[in-house]
Chain A
Amino acid sequence: MSDLEAVIGLEIHCQLKTATKLFCSCQARSGDEPNSHICEVCSGQPGALPRLNGRALWLAAKAGLALGCQVQEVSIFSRKNYFYPDLPAGFQTSQLDPPVCLGGALSIGPEDDPLLIRLNRIHLEDDAGKCVHDEARGQTLVDLNRAGTPLIEIVTEPDLRSSAQTAEFLKKLHALLVHLEVTEGRLEEGEFRCDVNISLRPRGAAWFGTRCEIKNLNSFRHAAQAVAYEAVRQESLLAQGLEVSQETRLFDPVRQETRSLRSKEEAHDYRYFPQPDLPPVLISGEMLEKIRAEMPEPPEKVKARLKGLGLTDEQAERLLDRRRAAEYFDAARLALEEPKRLATLMVELLLPACQRAGLDPPDCRLAPRDLAALARLMADNTLSRRAAYEIFPELFEKGGDPAAVAAARGLLQVSDSGAIEALAAEAIAAHPEEAEKYRQGQEKILSFFVGQVMKKSRGAANPKLAGEVLAGLLNQ
């Protein structure tokens, strides 16, 4: 690749976080019984008409504001016509000209030397249903639950040059949209997926080579792999003096290659025209002000703030990666002014548990103030690190006051010097020879007595305190 460079542009489809579909009041949720969230509108019954979900428009504008786009005062829905079994009306309702947002950019790379990736546009559209191929019965079945789900399509300019940049851009865009609560962003559900356009040209040239489009990549890794494969494939074609033909390709993650889906000649003529069932979409200055007011801190600012609290770079990133983790962290911090220990608990215990349970931190049973209480017990030595890790699964599962849970299991460290003194006295009385050795200068024997006290307290004594008490008694 020394004399050629890849030129990459992305089209990202991102499912908006709305309760209902884009043009009807059916629930926008996947995974339920097939065709359980459909009505005359999203199943394309005769006579049904679309009505725009204002929340979807709101979220599209919010994404646009966060990405520095010009949010359009007036945008137009168009029909994109083609036949497919998962497309009940025979057209997708999308936006052509003008879309809801134009322009904008997102930077990647190091903070001191960022690379600006320009956006071309963001438009609103509805998703199609799903075809399920039943090989055994030789049938194709259609599930329309997803039909009509609101999406934004974010189209970049061809500013990316490598698979690494592609993956970084996608990750950063994903984190931002999740952070804004524009999307749930579940990759495994296809809520954030992209098409990659890639062509090669001599490094630094001002023209574009013939591009291929790779459809429907739903993980950052696959996107990067597809770009890497496709760059090599196109390079080898060019090296052999062959031409790259303009076509649409699919990425096969198992065989790690792309395959031709259809050529330029087979491309659809979508016959776009203004959707006559929907009047022009208006966004007022007043609406934009309201959206700005509800805009959360941008991720870079949150990260800077977290690092300012003493969190490591990695901790801050982990909190930003998991949706709404920073929100949980901030709530917990209200109950405890010791952010570092909280961050450790979240990164080591809470976030992995949430990941496994498929929960956002604020939705789990363990309340932020209780995680703060757990951190405090550890801070004042009432609970050992080991004990804290031991009771965590129960806390995560059932919630509750960590002190009570630890006490019920007898795991609280006894920091009452009176109680420890009694145990210490007992231990010294039971081992007069060792006590004598200590007094003669064998100070290492103190740890033997600490062990005895720990044993008698069944591990509940605070070992540091026990050492101090024992030393005092032995030196008397």
Chain B
Amino acid sequence: MSELYHLTLSEAREKLLDREISASELTAACLGRIERSEPEIRACLTVMAEQAVQTAAELDRRGPDPERPLWGLPLGLKDLYCTKGVRTTAASRMLENYVPAYDAHVVSKLKEAGAVLMCKTNLDEFAMGSSTEFSAFGLTRNPWDQSKIPGGSSGGAAASVAAYQTPGGLGTDTGGSIRQPAALCGCVGLKPTYGRVSRYGILAFASSLDQAGPLARRVRDVAWLLKVMAGPDDRDNTCSTRPAEDYPSAAPGKLKGLRLGLPQELWEARLDPDVAEVVKKAFAALEAAGAVLIPMAMPNLRYSVAAYYILATAEASTNLARFDGLRYGRRSEKPRDLTELYTASRSEALGPEVQRRILLGTFALSAGYYDAYYQQAARVRRLIRDDYFQALDRCDFLLAPVSSLPAWDFGRFAHDPVTVYQLDLMTLPVNLAGLPALSLPAGLGPRSGLPVGLQLIGRPFDEMNLLGAGLAFEEAFPPLL
């Protein structure tokens, strides 16, 4: 483990500031790692090698700057973040050659903070999926076992971090898209509170659920990334005006006396034996350390998958209306009329899962169905939120599985989209409630040898304490990477 690319983000950060290593050296090491691992892992859709080398050289010329929290750190971006002048595809044929004219708010903040942007990572098309298999540009493999999926939709981001291509990366989480791939690849992943991070310039899937967040190999690392990502942005009216906090200064919490609520509706779901085994050990370890585990009934969680797939697809159906083949993106050749221009361009360029969700969402919003579906789902969402708030009144954090399965084989659910939707039960209620959640590695499954994760769910805008608790967990459950 002597290679530079093995350094965690926090370790690399200190060495960079101490001038022990240069930004160019670290960038070169990571680029080399990308070059060697990509043929197998295929986490990246675009590698910005030339640009990264230039940025690093420029940073080195000026010297380390402690005022820039991510100075010299190589990072990956899920290919859903607009990057000025760099192709941004959302893993869709529709945007195969789309080059944004502007940077997402978060991307500008990373640049200001001195980060070196390395690659645009793979995802399920428009972030719709749980395995990254719906990317129009090919599979990403799980670095732990290349016959397995890396999770999704931020599968490229998680695989890239787990393959040591970069010390950290950015994903987005609409129903678990950061937490689940982080768990399946043995990373740490944070879904911040809705409104904690600006969504400006991130391709929208479901606007009221989408939230950008970091993935890395340590809790402190995601804290550094969040420090830069979080905070107000007047270009996103749903972004909170609360200033960001100094998350890396979060003090490790104490497991002794920590009250952890266990949502019964999730724990009673059928867990894969490997997952169950790791969890059992984890519970024992937590109790041994003095944590108090409190089973909690959250009855409305059982409706969360249904409610989520109505709300998320309804929003998605209109968010994706702009991909009409007119102003940018793929346009069908020689359509006979305007209607055919729309239908052919969209049918040719959008993948099966995206089309499925657009149809579902369009249906849910249609005249005569709106009350029965969208309105009803919106009411269920409020009940789920109430369940969470009541539960969080009775404990410090909620503790839940991230995925009922460890990373699975490619193609396993290819003909069974509904089962895959149901796998999201562990993660998506948190998005419905807008709460922050931290996905942490809990150990390796004894049979599969694959990572299993747990998530801590906190109160709105309480990322500081959530990260503190994460640090305590990290001591109890050693990092896998």
* A269 adjacent to chain B (CB < 8 Å): yes
Within 8 A of B (CB), among A70-124: 79, 81, 83, 85, 88-91
Contacting pair B199 A85 (CB below 8 A): no
The one of B202, B317, B328, B366 that contacts A47, using a Cβ cutoff of 8 Å: B202
Task: Indicate whether A142 sits within 8 Å of B202 (C-beta atoms), given known contacts A91-B321, A269-B366.
Answer: no
For the complex, give the distance between the alpha carbons of A47 and B88 in Å: 11
Query: Cβ of A48 and Cβ of B314 under 8 Å apart?
Result: no
User: In the complex, A108→B136 CA distance in Å?
Assistant: 62
Chain A's nearest CB lies how many Å from the CB of B238?
6
The answer to whether B289 has its CB under 8 Å from any CB of chain A is no
Per the 8 Å Cβ criterion, residues 287-304 of A in contact with B are: none
Interface flag for B374 (CB, 8 Å): yes
The smallest beta-carbon distance between A280 and chain B, in angstroms, is 10
Given contacts A46-B95, A46-B203, A276-B315, contact A40 B324 (CB under 8 A): no
A88 vs B323: C-alpha distance when bound (angstroms):
9
Residue-wise interface mask of B (90-114) relative to A, using a CB-CB cutoff of 8 A (1 in contact, 0 not): 1000010010111010000000000
Chain A CB within 8 A of B298 CB: no
- As a 0/1 sequence over residues 298 to 340 of chain B, the CB contacts with chain A under 8 angstroms (1 = contact) are 0000000000000000110110111110111000000000100
Residues of A within 8 A of B327 (CB): 43-44, 88, 142
B430 CB to closest chain A CB, in angstroms? 17
Could you tell me if B365 and A273 are in contact, using CB atoms closer than 8 angstroms? yes
Question: In the complex the two chains form, is B234's CB within 8 Å of A51's CB?
Answer: yes
Minimum C-beta distance from B342 to chain A (A)? 6
Q: A46 near B100 (CB under 8 angstroms)?
A: yes
B102/A271 in contact, CB under 8 A: no
C-alpha gap A142/B341 in the complex (Å): 15
Q: Are B338 and A277 in contact (CB under 8 A)?
A: no
With CB as the reference atom, state the residue of chain A lying closest to B210.
A276
Of listed A50, A276, A278, A279, residue having the most chain B CB within 10 A: A276
Q: Which residues of A contact B374 (CB under 8 A)?
A: 273
Q: Which of B15-33 contact A (CB under 8 A)?
A: none
Instruction: Count how many chain B residues have C-beta atoms less than 8 Å from C-beta atoms of the other chain.
Output: 44
Complex formed: what's the CA distance from A319 to B370 in Å? Answer: 51
Bound together, the chains give a CA A91 to CA B204 distance in angstroms of: 14
Say yes or no: A278 contacts B101, CB within 8 Å: no
- Please, how many angstroms separate the alpha-carbon atoms of A428 and B324 in the complex? 92
Contacts of A51 in B (CB 8 A): 234-237
User: What A residues does B199 contact at CB under 8 A?
Assistant: 47, 49
> Considering residues A45, A49, A50, which has the most beta carbons from chain B within 10 angstroms of its beta carbon?
A49
Q: Indicate which residue in B101, B236, B362 contacts A40 across the interface (CB closer than 8 Å).
A: B101
**Is there an interface contact between B237 and A279, defined as CB atoms closer than 8 Å?**
yes
The reply to whether B322 and A89 contact each other, CB–CB distance below 8 Å, is yes
Q: Does B64 contact A (CB under 8 A)?
A: no
C-alpha gap A49/B104 in the complex (Å): 11
Q: Check if B201 sits within 8 Å of A269, measured CB to CB.
A: no
Q: What's the nearest-Cβ distance from chain A to residue B100, in Å?
A: 7
Question: How many A residues touch the partner, as a band?
Answer: 20 to 34
Q: Does B56 contact A (CB under 8 A)?
A: no
Q: B207, A276: Cβ atoms under 8 Å?
A: yes
- Report the separation of the CA atoms of residues A364 and B204 in the bound assembly, to the nearest whole angstrom: 48
The answer to whether B366 touches A81 (Cβ under 8 A) is: no
Which residues of A lie under 8 Å from residue B315 when comparing CB positions? 276
List the A residue with the shortest CB-CB distance to B328. A45
User: Is B104's CB under 8 angstroms from A271's CB?
Assistant: no
Contacts of B204 in A (CB 8 A): 46-47, 49, 277
Task: Digitize A29-45: 1 where CB-to-B-CB distance is under 8 Å, 0 elsewhere.
Answer: 00000000000100111
Separation of A459 and B22 alpha carbons in the complex (Å): 92
Q: Are the C-beta atoms of A273 and B370 separated by less than 8 Å?
A: yes
Nearest CB on B from A174, distance (A): 32
B236 lies within 8 A of A49 (CB): yes
Q: Is there an interface contact between A44 and B201, defined as CB atoms closer than 8 Å? A: no
Query: Is A331 an interface position by the 8 A CB rule?
Result: no
Q: Which residue of the partner chain B has the closest CB to A23? A: B237
What are the residues of chain B within 8 A of A48 when measuring CB–CB? Answer: 102, 200-201
Chain B residue numbers with a CB within 8 Å of A46 are 82, 88, 90, 95, 98, 100, 203-204, 322-323
Q: Taking A40-B101, A46-B88, A46-B95 as contacts, is the C-beta distance between A279 and B203 under 8 angstroms?
A: no
Is A345 interfacial (CB-CB < 8 Å)? no
CB-defined contacts of A142 to chain B, threshold 8 Å:
326-327
| B81 (CB) vs chain A CBs: closest residue | A47
Question: Whole-angstrom distance from the CB of A77 to the nearest CB of chain B?
Answer: 10
Closest residue of chain B to A268 (Cβ to Cβ) is B367
Nearest CB in chain A: distance from B98 CB, A = 7
Distance in angstroms between the alpha carbons of A393 and B81 in the assembled complex: 60
Q: Check A47–B322 contact: CB distance below 8 A.
A: no
* Assembled-state Cα–Cα distance A90/B323 (Å): 8
Q: B322 — which chain A residues lie within 8 A by C-beta? A: 44-46, 88-90
Distance of B264 from chain A, by nearest CB (Å): 30
Quote the shortest CB–CB distance from A95 to chain B (angstroms). Answer: 15
8 Å CB contacts to B: which residues of A109-155? 142
A277 to B207 Cα, complex, angstroms: 6
CB distance from B323 to the nearest CB of A (A): 8
Q: Can you spell out 7 A-B residue pairs with CB atoms less than 8 angstroms apart?
A: A46-B90, A85-B326, A90-B321, A269-B367, A271-B365, A271-B366, A276-B315
Given known contacts A46-B98, A90-B318, A273-B365, what 18 new A-B pairs fall within 8 Å (CB)?
Answer: A40-B201, A44-B327, A46-B95, A46-B323, A47-B200, A49-B236, A49-B238, A51-B235, A51-B236, A79-B318, A85-B338, A90-B320, A91-B318, A91-B321, A271-B365, A273-B318, A273-B370, A279-B238
Q: Which 5 A-B pairs have the closest CB atoms?
A: A90-B321, A276-B207, A271-B365, A276-B208, A47-B201
Interface residues of B (CB under 8 A from A): 81-82, 88, 90, 95, 98, 100-102, 104, 199-204, 206-208, 234-238, 314-315, 317-318, 320-324, 326-328, 338, 342, 362, 365-367, 370, 374
